[in-house]
Amino acid sequence: MNDPQIKMTHLIAQRDIQFSNSSIEAFNKIIKHQFLLPLKISNGKILGKELDKAIFIYNNIRPQFGLKGNTPIEVYQGNVLNFEQYKTHFKEHKKQRILQHQKSNCKICLPN
């Protein structure tokens, strides 16, 4: 709306609004779209079982980008991994692998 008589302020959740529930809405969307909708759930009992499985996977197995690749349980228990430390030699190792492949009969890795 570009009506100068209507005063509107653009607010961003979790920055401008302290009581925002956008985090739980994001969680609900993930559970719904990644875990529940792909299934054929015919009743509440099956829904409860699948929801329990989904929450367990979300908290214990599924890495979270917002938690820097850790799971919620790892962060909660203080067992976080610093995945940045694994990136330090990736470029050098890639160069070494390409050189090693070039010495073999494999022609897939040859530069164009």
* pLDDT score for 111: 61
| Per-residue confidence in pLDDT tens, the chain, 112 aa | 567 788 878 877 777 877 777 778 889 999 999 999 999 999 999 999 999 999 999 999 999 988 888 999 999 999 988 877 767 777 788 888 888 877 776 666 556 5
The CA distance from 59 to 13, in Å, is: 23
User: Which helix (H) or strand (E) covers residue 76, if one does?
Assistant: helix 72-77
* CA proximity to 58, closest of 33, 85, 81: 33
The CA distance from 8 to 2, in Å, is: 9
pTM of the predicted model, to two decimals? Answer: 0.59
* pLDDT score for 108: 62
